Chains A and B, each alone.
Chain A
């Protein structure tokens, strides 16, 4: 018996696995990654995304982007590209534009739906050097780049009509090749009708 709305729908909206027609959203809390994602599929294939991610409340990355379903069968595979901004406080501050490309997979088994997200994030910033000479202020900007590989996986569990609970682990590699400690999160997701 089908009692979850998105199980009744063809091409249901999904912000965790990606893709789908209609509106979906989720909010996640965890250690050390928190965030939300709002997604709206405006056609069978295409949708837009608005999201923000935070790490320990010291590093913020708001983004907007486009997503598309690449394959829809027993498995759904979607791809997304996003652009945004990365700002980080602390001993190594950062402040610059960012882009991200990612692939998401999910496969439903009744109420349960394992999912996987793989991505690559890039950001630019400048180290500014100001030298006061007798005659002028010399300003030199040196470009700095940051590359983060993202990887998350988890299990979404249908809990009530349009709602899912998702448990996930986060295994990104922030500012490669620096070492990153894995994290874990719990998310509450809404999967609305078209």
Chain B
């Protein structure tokens, strides 16, 4: 009977920090289906799986990336809620459509969706894609827009794509921007596609649009953090810029946790804590979300964050920026 109760009872959400229990929201999670990942990225992902998972990656990936799988990952780390991203990147990581994301988030009151759009054939189909994005954003749980210029191959400074930022602003949907070069095959690693300084014109032109700079400009290819100054510079200069520290503090990118701790230290010393929104870029592999949350908490502790400051990063700013209701 006790076993039954233990197995069926709701997990205790929140993490302990400096004697306080804090809510955690992961603003960067992926969902999808194996068949919609490009062949090159399928091989890349498979090569990163421990044996024997790489022999049958499809079942593992689809189980981990389902709404149920992601909730399991949130539970492991005591995370309250998570945002699932639509992705339209056929040249690299593949496609996870708005419709698929909506089908996942409708299964749980702990999951929200971040919409996206295809920029392939933009000259001929841009209007149609904008219309589809606008429609997706009318869903009450689709609360933001995700763009990854390096994965989607479009320049950050090309005005042809500025209507995306305008549309997002009109819908009060913050735009998540992947910054910095990515290790995935098929990405465009040249400066206009990875460096948010190229986005500055759009940032100024659409002050009502909120831009979240994902990965904080970290260079995943050369494993260098000096490019992060670009993101800090923009966050300090513009009210509509936010920072998201996903992935670069993982065990593989930052084994000792030094890069993450340095980032949190810089953010605190330069009064940017209110600009930070926690995300993991999970689920990646079972246990990653919980582990990444723990690593961020360690980094904040090393950087001397108070419990209030940690809660700002872990959930407070996300609740305000995305206008989330309190979770029961």
Name A's B-contacting residues (CB within 8 A): 32, 55-56, 58-59, 88-92, 174-175, 178-181, 183
CB proximity to A under 8 Å, residues B250-281: none
Q: In the docked arrangement, what's the CA distance between A180 and B50, Å? A: 5
Besides the contacts A58-B55, A91-B43, A180-B51, what 5 more A-B pairs have beta carbons closer than 8 Å?
A55-B52, A56-B52, A90-B54, A175-B51, A181-B53
B51 touching A179, Cβ below 8 Å: yes
Across the A-B interface, how many residue pairs have beta carbons closer than 8 Å?
44
As a 0/1 sequence over residues 15 to 57 of chain B, the CB contacts with chain A under 8 angstroms (1 = contact) are 0000000000000000000000000001100110011111111
For A33, the closest partner residue in chain B by CB is B52
B51 touching A91, Cβ below 8 Å: no
CB proximity to A under 8 Å, residues B176-219: none
Question: Which residues of chain B have C-beta atoms less than 8 A from A88's C-beta?
Answer: 55
B52 touching A32, Cβ below 8 Å: yes
- Say yes or no: A174-B52 contact (C-beta < 8 A), given A90-B57, A91-B57: yes
Q: In the docked arrangement, what's the CA distance between A162 and B51, Å? A: 35
For B39, the closest partner residue in chain A by CB is A91
> Contacting A92 at CB < 8 Å: which of B47, B50, B53?
B47
As a 0/1 sequence over residues 228 to 245 of chain B, the CB contacts with chain A under 8 angstroms (1 = contact) are 000000000000000000
Q: In the docked arrangement, what's the CA distance between A89 and B55, Å? A: 7
Question: Which residues of chain A have C-beta atoms less than 8 A from B53's C-beta?
Answer: 181
Which of B42, B43, B46, B51 is packed against the most chain A CB atoms within 10 Å? Answer: B51
For B46, the closest partner residue in chain A by CB is A91
7 pairs of A and B residues whose beta carbons are closest in the complex: A58-B55, A179-B50, A180-B51, A174-B51, A91-B46, A32-B52, A56-B55
A146 CB to closest chain B CB (Å) equals 11
- Say yes or no: A180-B43 contact (C-beta < 8 A), given A90-B57, A91-B57: no
B50 touching A91, Cβ below 8 Å: no
Q: In the docked arrangement, what's the CA distance between A101 and B47, Å? A: 27
- Say yes or no: A180-B52 contact (C-beta < 8 A), given A91-B42, A91-B43, A91-B46: yes
A54 CB to closest chain B CB (Å) equals 10
A91 touching B52, Cβ below 8 Å: no
B51 touching A90, Cβ below 8 Å: no
- Say yes or no: A59-B55 contact (C-beta < 8 A), given A91-B42, A92-B43: yes
CB proximity to A under 8 Å, residues B53-108: 53-57
Q: In the docked arrangement, what's the CA distance between A58 and B58, Å? A: 13
B46 touching A56, Cβ below 8 Å: no
B51 touching A181, Cβ below 8 Å: yes
Q: In the docked arrangement, what's the CA distance between A160 and B209, Å? A: 75
Q: In the docked arrangement, what's the CA distance between A171 and B301, Å? A: 37
For A175, the closest partner residue in chain B by CB is B51
A181 touching B43, Cβ below 8 Å: no
B42 CB to closest chain A CB (Å) equals 6
Question: Which residues of chain A have C-beta atoms less than 8 A from B46's C-beta?
Answer: 90-92
Question: Which residues of chain B have C-beta atoms less than 8 A from A55's C-beta?
Answer: 51-52, 55
A148 CB to closest chain B CB (Å) equals 9
B56 touching A178, Cβ below 8 Å: no
Q: In the docked arrangement, what's the CA distance between A77 and B327, Å? A: 62
B50 touching A90, Cβ below 8 Å: no
Q: In the docked arrangement, what's the CA distance between A58 and B56, Å? A: 8
Q: In the docked arrangement, what's the CA distance between A88 and B57, Å? A: 14
B57 touching A181, Cβ below 8 Å: no
For B43, the closest partner residue in chain A by CB is A91
B231 CB to closest chain A CB (Å) equals 32
- Say yes or no: A181-B42 contact (C-beta < 8 A), given A90-B57, A92-B47: no
Question: Which residues of chain B have C-beta atoms less than 8 A from A90's C-beta?
Answer: 46, 54-57
A-B residue pairs in contact (CB < 8 Å), sample of 27: A32-B55, A55-B51, A55-B52, A56-B55, A58-B52, A58-B55, A58-B56, A59-B52, A88-B55, A89-B55, A90-B46, A90-B54, A90-B55, A90-B56, A91-B46, A91-B54, A91-B57, A92-B46, A92-B47, A175-B51, A178-B50, A178-B51, A179-B51, A180-B50, A181-B51, A181-B53, A183-B52
